[in-house]
Structures are given as C-alpha cells and as structure tokens.
Amino acid sequence: MKRLLTGACLLALWPLGLASAFAEGEAGEKPPFSCTITSAQTRITEGQEPKINVAIRNDSGKEAVLVGSLDGCARGGGRFPRCGFEVLDTAGKPVQLQALGRCGNQNSLRIEDFATVAAGADFNPFGKGFFGSADPIRMSFLPPGTYRVHFTYQTSAGSIVDYMGDDRAGGEAKADPKLKELHKTVPVVDLKSNDLTFTIVPRKASPAPAKAKDAAKPASR
C-alpha cells in the first residue's frame, strides 16, 4: 500500500455552554481539535472517484461530543455541521464542482447524530450511521490536471435549530429536551484540514474497432 499522506491542520475554537471547558492552548501546545485527511491513492484516472479518509482529533484532554455529517449539511448548505471538501486549482483558486440533484427533504435530528469522542481519539464525521459526502463523486467529473483538496468542518454557535432538518419548523421550543442537552455540550469549532494534491490522468482511449473484412464477392451467375 502506498504511504498515506498527512499534514497540519488549522483550528478556531470559541466557548458555548459546557463547551467553555475547552480553551485555546498556549503557544506551542496542541490545539484542542484538529483535522487530517489522507488517501492511499492520489494519482487517479479521469472519471474515478477519489477515496479520502477524514479524522478529527480530540486533543482537548477531555471527552467531547461532536455531530456527524447530516442530511443536507454540505459546504455552503444551511444545516450544521457544515462539512465537505474544497477543490483548488494549481493557482489556488476554488474549482466549481459538478452539481448533483438531491431530495428536498432533510432527516430529523437524532440522539444518534451526536458522537462521544474520547480524549486522544479520532472522529470520522462520515462514519457508520452518518451521511457520506457527495463531493468525491462530484470530483469524478473533473478534467485531467492537478488539484489541491482540503476538508472543512464547522459547528454552530447558534441554537439547536441550526442542526435540525425538516423538524426545524417547530423551532427550539419543540425540540426534544435530550437533544437540547446534547447540543449544549458540542464545542464550537471551525476546522480546516491539510491539503492533499491529486493528479487526474486522462482515461485510456478505447481501442479502435477492428476493420471489417472485405465484403464477400457476389456469387457469379
């Protein structure tokens, strides 16, 4: 297996409710949370979907509660946590990815959407029970070339309504009390991972069809 690629991450953290227990580290200390993306294959063929692993590290020294990827929480969407991949060209400019159709409904927020992450452990927001990202599929439409990819993950400093789906119509007042208690424990984080460089090579041209044999001569009369 090829060597996995890793890199440094950036973090911003602000207190909210019980999340105030997490403070910015002093200069030289590890940040409470960080994010790393890796891939075993960064040279792919045109039309191929890249396989990218995401790990959010809890170095706060305490158990933490994070929310996994939900229905409709892609980058630029209105639902938190906002998470997804951004693709840049060689000049560092964002690349517009292929738009994909989706259902207009959003699943309601569940207790299972809140994950307890032990101190020193990694959290995959696309893990079992959470929604996957459509971004790698959209990347499969990119033309050949070299691209830089990073991942962002952002929780909300607002109310629990920011995390709700079709159930947000009832507002915070009608939200499940257990969900509201869990929401209070979610730290407000704004993470950006390391960059991975992907090279997309042209797909091999299909072999030309074999020339048809000369048509049979008409039978003599």
Cis peptide upstream of residue 187 (ω within 30 degrees of 0): no
Phi and psi, residue 25, nearest 5° = -75, 155
Mean pLDDT over 100-107 rounds to 72
- 3-class DSSP string for 115-183: EEECCCCEECCCCCCCCCCCHHHHHCCCCCEEEEEEEEEECCCCCHHHHCCHHHHHCHHHCCHHHHHHH
Residue 8 vs residue 180, higher pLDDT: 180
Encode pLDDT of 71-95 as tens digits: 988 766 689 999 999 999 999 999 9
Encode pLDDT of 148-185 as tens digits: 999 999 999 899 999 999 888 888 998 999 999 999 99
Exposed/middle/buried for residue 122 (C-beta within 10 Å: 0-12, 13-18, 19+): middle
Exposed/middle/buried for residue 185 (C-beta within 10 Å: 0-12, 13-18, 19+): middle
**Eight-class DSSP state of 27:** T
Residue 71 vs residue 99, higher pLDDT: 71
Which pLDDT score is estimated for 27? 55
Strands 43-45 and 196-201: parallel
Encode pLDDT of 124-151 as tens digits: 999 999 999 999 999 999 999 999 999 9
What is residue 44's three-state secondary structure?
A: strand
Task: Give the pTM.
Answer: 0.80
Quickly name the fold that domain 10-201 has.
Answer: Coagulation Factor XIII; Chain A, domain 1 (2.70.50)
pLDDT greater than 80 at residue 6: no
